[in-house]
Amino acid sequence: MKKRIETYDPGETEALGEEMGREAKAGQIFCLSGDLGVGKTVFTKGFAKGLGITEHVTSPTFAIVNEYEGRLPLYHFDVYRISCEEEMEDTGYEEYFYGEGVCLVEWAELVKDLIPEDAIWITVEKDYTKDDDYRCITIRQEGEA
């Protein structure tokens, strides 16, 4: 599966996240990749809303992982500050990745080796030839049966 979506303001990216959050299933892992300030957390806020989470979602930059209760539990990782695999192990990520909740990992490309094959990758990119608020979002799932 590969899908390409263009958004023209933060609300559209949030709405896409919300739609995917509504459809998310237990055990799925969503990997968000893209530069700082591209909209990963904007997407995540929508995603959380779609999972029925009413709590305010912020980027867990220092905590590495935040947990939220919704229709399913959401484990929101931001691994930007992870510098080695050992540090990632300290978060107990395996329990989350192979658990019954939904995982969403910002900066997942930094821990690519630890991400299960069937994870869903969402890449957000700007295009400097276009408007500041333009984003190109690519969704793909490789290990899909």
Ligand X SMILES: Nc1ncnc2c1ncn2[C@@H]1O[C@H](COP(=O)(O)OP(=O)(O)O)[C@@H](O)[C@H]1O
Q: Which is nearer to Mg ion, 41 or 123 (CB)?
A: 41
- Give the whole-angstrom CA distance, residue 81 versus residue 110: 9
41 sits near ligand X (criterion: CB under 6 A): yes
Q: Which is nearer to ligand X, 5 or 27 (CB)?
A: 5
Binding piece for ligand X, criterion CB under 6 A, among 39-47, 60-68, 83-91, 110-118: 39-47
Q: Which is nearer to ligand X, 12 or 18 (CB)?
A: 12
40 sits near ligand X (criterion: CB under 6 A): yes
* Residue 124 · residue 137 · CB < 8 Å: yes
When binding is defined by CB under 6 A, the residue of 5, 10, 15, 114 that contacts ligand X is: 10
Which of the residues 91 through 120 are near ligand X (CB under 6 A)?
Answer: 106
When binding is defined by CB under 6 A, the residue of 1, 2, 25, 37 that contacts ligand X is: 37
- Give the whole-angstrom CA distance, residue 140 versus residue 117: 11
- For residue 110, what is the DSSP state? G
> For 5-35, what is the HEC assignment?
EEECCHHHHHHHHHHHHHHCCCCCEEEEECC
When binding is defined by CB under 5 A, the residue of 20, 29, 40, 53 that contacts Mg ion is: 40
- Give the whole-angstrom CA distance, residue 57 versus residue 35: 19
Considering the complex, what minimum distance in angstroms separates the CB of residue 98 from ligand X? 25
Kindly give, in sequence order, each residue whose CB lies less than 8 Å from that of residue 85, ignoring residues fewer than 6 positions away: 111, 113, 114
Interface with ligand X by CB under 6 A: which residues? 7, 9-10, 12-13, 34, 36-42, 59, 106, 133, 135
